Amino acid sequence: MQNSVGLVLLTLLQALVISALPASHSARVQANIEASSSNSSRSATQNQNEKHTSTWESQFTFLENRLQVQTVTLTSLSSVQSPTTTNATQSSPATSGSIITTIATEGNPPIQPFPTSISTVTQSTLQPTDVTATPQNGSTSAPPPIITATLTLPLTTFETVVTSSTVASIPVTTIVSVTFITVAPTTYTSNGSVVVTSTAGPTVIETTATVLSETTIAASATVTNTVSTVVSTGTLASIWPSSTAVCKFTMGCNSQSLFDPVDVDPPPNTIPNVGGHPVPRLGITDMTGPIETNKFYFNFFLGSQGFPAFVMPYSLSWSKGSGNAQSWGMAISHIDENQRAYGPGNKNIPGTPTSYYINPLGIQSVILSAAELGSQTILTTDSLEVLSGYANLSPSQGSNSHIRFPMVQGMAFVTGIYTSLQPEIQSSIFFRSVQSAGQPKLGIYKYRLTLEDGKVWLLYATSSYGVNPNLKLVSSTMLQGIPNWSGTIQIGKVPSGASEDLYDDACGLYPTSGAISGYATNSTAQYSLSWTKGGPCAVNGTLLMFALPHHIDSFSPDTVARITSMKLQTTTKGVATAVIADYWVMNEELPTSMGFSPWRPGATAVTSLSEGVIAAIQNVSALEASQDMNAQTNLNSMYFSGKGLSKFATIVYTMNDLSKQPRLAAAALAKLKAAFAVFAENRQQFPLYYDTDWKGLVSSASYRTGDSGQDFGNSYYNDHHFHYGYFIHAAAVIGYLDPAWAQANKGYVNALIRDVANPSTLDTFFPIFRSFDWYHGHSWAKGLFETGDGKDEESSSEDAMFAYGLKMWGRTIGDHSMEHRGNLMLAILARSIQSYFLMDSSNKNQPARFVGNKVTGILFENKADHVTYFGANAEYVQGIQMVPAMPFSTLTRTKKFVEEEWVQYFADGAVDAAINVQGGWKGILFGNLAIINPQAAYNFFSQPDFNWSWLDGGASLTWYLAYTAGLGGT
């Protein structure tokens, strides 16, 4: 009798759960109890257990009428469970996954990245004018003009909403009365404690317990009325509403803010609003504002919704009934380095580097699912932000039950937030064993999952009502919990040989969203990635987040102190390192001295050239400026048009500032303004639309032709930073030479910037940083195209071109926040490009057998392929990372890298000797040579019989002469 009553009482008391559902003020619980007693004084023939059945009842009285009693049944389980059955579709673990060896080319037609049929002139027709340009030299020091707009928003826009989690015990007096009749003295115990000692005859047991608890969320009041405020652009950071209570930066928060709004007005009225985008917003809920189109979670709202979201270091994918487990839950995958697949070696390249590497898809290591999920399951997303988003799985449309998944780049746990479902934790790799590992924190139940591939994953379950999920291994592919369960389940992978303590300390909380902030003083900037938190331990706990190599290299000393020894491989960004911190602070040196003229890091910008160089430029500049600018810029492609405008802008700048031709420059400037006006007035062949569905500026080309690949997929948000960066650079030059023009065209140019890189939520017309990924440190070019290998970028140099244009336009119009933001993006890009795209011999982040290619080619979230979308020639694959040759080229492309690449590919006798390359790529290669051998590069461009076909449609001989001479050629 010493165990039975105590076990029943314990089980029943644990199983009474208060849930926040409509109910009456009271509830009654009844249960039958079987008790046993034995009499040691009786004879052997009489000594047998006598069973007695009784009924107890308890009355619960609630002050809160939304509470009700929920009864669950818990099963006593072994601390280590091993599967005895399987319901898998195949008998062996699915550990290999699948690979995509082809490249999805939607929106990327096989077209050279510049016009190839540029008409030239043989004689200058440019006539000098008496009105010369009056450039603004250097950074504008005068206060910028203030543009104001009245913005009416909910008052909560300017209010910090603070949430906190509190656990309150509810004293529920539970009296259990059990009457027994015994024939001998009997002692009754519960959990080792004596409840009562009886004599022969009736005995009454009574016990009282208060074991119930309730979790509540407290939040600041939300005011629903609106407030009008005057928002001024271009002013100091202190005027902008902020929810940051404590400054994170050692330089302080009173210096130049890097994330002031560009503007808050609608786009120019010359750009019409158009709905009905070719790609519908699939499954996106509770969002009426701008939607991020180029972020890591994009596959969840496109097409089949079956391709992964690469959250780093994990990937998530909706199983949709696939795999061994036939699950409809969210599959979690992490790929170790030894699981990668590699392409064939390129025998033409020294060292025979592999042509590509790829991480397998479809490996469903652990799946967060529920018994209710099946063929009617729907996937929705919401709260899609710059660093985070939410995915939701519901059993059917309209169901109140669901699993909610916060997706935040760098998260150490994959977290599923369950509402009224029966959890099923599944694996297509098969569970080898499941071990109950105690409670690292009160109310958090830990399980150690060992899979058949030998990998160990940890599971942490926290009930909303304090109930053990009682996870039972029912087959080799399924671990099942109790019905109608609510709470969070967190999954993390244990690196080989690593301690579990870090996960134990960090469980019970998770990131819910991320934010970017930063400040600059002179040539130094600090920026931060910070996260809001959720979970029962959010108030007192600190997040565990994974940082990429370029983050670690720029961490401030305070953040360095938070680095741990835990590491996990990423798909294409080397090894990630776990950091215990709710925010990271990174330091960068800014290229503030970089301007329009040739430049090297650590040196002053070039402001004058030798007389011999000036004479050489004067021989060709007027001729090039006499070309038909309108014919070369008003094309059926925003990309080609922008390259043409930028080309002529560099010619005009060189003539005005470097080659002593101010009157001819003024005449050329007038032609350039007229060419640019076609776009500012939206009169080009395919005018821009303001897409009211996704919220952005897109080409009308695909709307009119039905071809998603028209203009490289611009209508689908492909390549916007590539396309618009050239326009912004051209505008910066024109505005530098004519400040009045800059003010008149500010709205149009700023709209292009806002589409690609809107820095503020106060601007409600565009998403935040559509292209630039502040976690990865570079942009993604892929727009609204579903792809198994995730987002990609082909031209890291044109990524830097956008940041350079942003910097210079900010300088031109006196927007200091914009200028410093462009500087910061350039500094981060230089670090990430050198870490992941341009691989010198010391690179440790890309696979050793791939580094010999020197560039990644197309870098995806899940693979790297040493090709381009338009061909595999060495000059294509290497050269697309060189264009255009601009002052920033020496920042992103180090001398060490350029020398190694040149010797391997383009030196005389090498794989693809530059002297033998034809067409515009020849000019690109020799322009790049100026970084390490400016004299040889200058000699190439200044040769008397220079062939004009060696210039691509976005380049000029005028600029190449100035550029190579400015870097040291004579």
Q: Give dist(CA 899, CA 911) in Å, integer.
A: 15
The pLDDT, as a whole number, for residue 83 is: 81
Which parts of the chain have pLDDT scores under 50?
A: 1-56, 58, 137-183, 207-245
Whole-Å CA distances, 256 to 518, 554, 760, 820, 911: 8, 20, 15, 8, 48
Q: How many other C-beta atoms lie within 10 A of the C-beta of residue 145?
A: 12
The pLDDT, as a whole number, for residue 173 is: 43
Asked whether the beta carbons of 566 and 495 are under 8 A apart, the reply is yes
Asked whether the beta carbons of 311 and 406 are under 8 A apart, the reply is no
Catalytically active residues, by annotation: 719, 794, 798
The pLDDT, as a whole number, for residue 125 is: 78
The pLDDT, as a whole number, for residue 121 is: 72
Q: How many other C-beta atoms lie within 10 A of the C-beta of residue 776?
A: 25
The encoded tokens of residue 925 equal 């290669």
The encoded tokens of residue 97 equal 């996954």
Beta bridge partners of 604: none
Whole-Å CA distances, 968 to 617, 900, 964: 15, 20, 7
The encoded tokens of residue 933 equal 């051998």
What single-letter DSSP state applies at residue 403? E
The pLDDT, as a whole number, for residue 97 is: 78
φ/ψ (deg, to 5) at 679: -85, -40
Asked whether the beta carbons of 815 and 144 are under 8 A apart, the reply is yes
Strands 16-20, 67-71: parallel, antiparallel or unpaired by DSSP? antiparallel
Task: Give 303: exposed, middle or buried? Use CB within 10 Å, 0-12, 13-18, 19+.
Answer: middle
- Which residue in the block uniquely carries the two structure tokens 């040989």? 497
Q: Give dist(CA 839, CA 843) in Å, integer.
A: 6
Q: Quick one: three-class SS letters along 385-402? A: CCCEEEEEEECCCCCCCE
The pLDDT, as a whole number, for residue 134 is: 60
H/E element holding 629?
Answer: helix 629-633
φ/ψ (deg, to 5) at 727: -60, -45
Task: Give 703: exposed, middle or buried? Use CB within 10 Å, 0-12, 13-18, 19+.
Answer: middle
The encoded tokens of residue 219 equal 């939040």
Q: What is the pTM of this model?
A: 0.84
The pLDDT, as a whole number, for residue 198 is: 56
- Which residue in the block uniquely carries the two structure tokens 């559509």? 770
Give first-to-last CA distance, the chain, whole Å. Answer: 102
| Helices 720-737 & 796-813 angle (0-180, nearest 10) | 30
Q: Give dist(CA 260, CA 762) in Å, integer.
A: 9
The pLDDT, as a whole number, for residue 187 is: 56
Q: Give dist(CA 917, CA 159) in Å, integer.
A: 60
The pLDDT, as a whole number, for residue 200 is: 55
Residue 122: which residues within 8 A CB-CB, separation 6 or more? Answer: 623
Task: Give 128: exposed, middle or buried? Use CB within 10 Å, 0-12, 13-18, 19+.
Answer: middle
Q: Tell me the three state secondary structure of residue 165.
A: strand
Tell me the residue length of the chain: 970
The pLDDT, as a whole number, for residue 605 is: 87
Q: How far is CA 244 from the centre of its chain?
A: 22
Q: Give dist(CA 828, CA 721) in Å, integer.
A: 16
Asked whether the beta carbons of 369 and 385 are under 8 A apart, the reply is no
The pLDDT, as a whole number, for residue 82 is: 85
φ/ψ (deg, to 5) at 904: -75, -40
